[in-house]
Amino acid sequence: MNERVITRAAWTLASVLVTVLFVFLWQRIADAQFVPRVFLPGPDATWASLVAGFNNGQLDRLTLATAERMVYGWLLASLVGIGLGASIGMLPRLRALVEPALEAIRPLPASAVIPIAIALAGLGDVTVYSVICFGALWPMLLSTVQGFSAVEPTRYEFAASIGMSRTAVVLRIALPSSMPDLLAGLKLSLTVALILTVVVEMLTGQQGLGTWILFAGRAYRSADLFAGIFLLGVLGYASSLLFGLIERRVLRWRH
């Protein structure tokens, strides 16, 4: 146990040192001006932009708006993906019927449906959440189909032989067995939702970190641009940590 704790602490220290080294080299390169500061600000300028943005309350609002769109779009995609994926995964005939259509639609980039969504619903929230849901749906849907279809058929046969209801089969047999695939799909889907949130904000003009980054780049405010990118990284890293904790708790039986 002590050896495991020491090893984990050593790896944590090493990762911190790598991060510090990266920031140090970034600052040195910016100070040397190998790249003009108008294009590459240093960590000091980026930090100053972050502090100024949070002091005037602007970055607070934009970060919260982006996080809300990401989470709501991801939740919608997760509900649709799990519900539809469970039905397809548990019913082989339905899977054979819809699989060709799913494989035809799945490679379609989510950005390609943005003009269609704008034409049908305008530049409001309906377009934003529709695009995020469409893109984030596929990792969740395919992971759910994979998880539910991988359950041993004998388990379904046993459940039918003792008269278990469909709901009981899902909750007591299919869902626990497919939980690793579901968690992997949820994690990947949230990452896709964050990416699409930024893209949709840029294209529709919705206030968020996407528009902050876009306008900062157009105005050559590189420090603001890097500050926005840093906050997106924080959102992604925080969601990854959260899912790591959830996965360790839910799948503790695997360890």
In the predicted model, residues of the chain with pLDDT beneath 70 are 1-2, 253-255
How confident is the model at residue 157, as a pLDDT? 73
- Tell whether 4 and 56 lie within a shared domain: no
Number of structural domains (the chain) is 2
Range of the domain at 13: 1-32
Each residue of 13-37: pLDDT tens digit?
Answer: 888 899 899 999 999 988 888 888 8
How confident is the model at residue 67, as a pLDDT? 94
How confident is the model at residue 234, as a pLDDT? 92
The closest alpha carbon to 207, from 104, 125, 145, 103, belongs to 125
Q: What is the pTM of this model?
A: 0.84
Q: What is the DSSP string of 59-73?
A: HHHHHHHHHHHHHHH
- Tell whether 6 and 85 lie within a shared domain: no
How confident is the model at residue 253, as a pLDDT? 59
Q: Could you give the CA distance from residue 245 to residue 251 in angstroms, rounded to a whole number?
A: 10
- Tell whether 136 and 11 lie within a shared domain: no
How confident is the model at residue 155, as a pLDDT? 76
- Tell whether 165 and 64 lie within a shared domain: yes
Each residue of 95-117: pLDDT tens digit?
Answer: 778 777 777 777 777 777 777 77
How confident is the model at residue 1, as a pLDDT? 52
Each residue of 215-234: pLDDT tens digit?
Answer: 999 999 999 999 999 999 99
- Tell whether 66 and 188 lie within a shared domain: yes
Q: Do residues 181 and 86 make contact, with C-beta atoms less than 8 angstroms apart?
A: no
- Tell whether 210 and 99 lie within a shared domain: yes
- Tell whether 3 and 115 lie within a shared domain: no
- Tell whether 143 and 27 lie within a shared domain: no
- Tell whether 224 and 148 lie within a shared domain: yes
- Tell whether 84 and 1 lie within a shared domain: no
Q: Could you give the CA distance from residue 254 to residue 245 in angstroms, rounded to a whole number?
A: 14
- Tell whether 48 and 22 lie within a shared domain: no
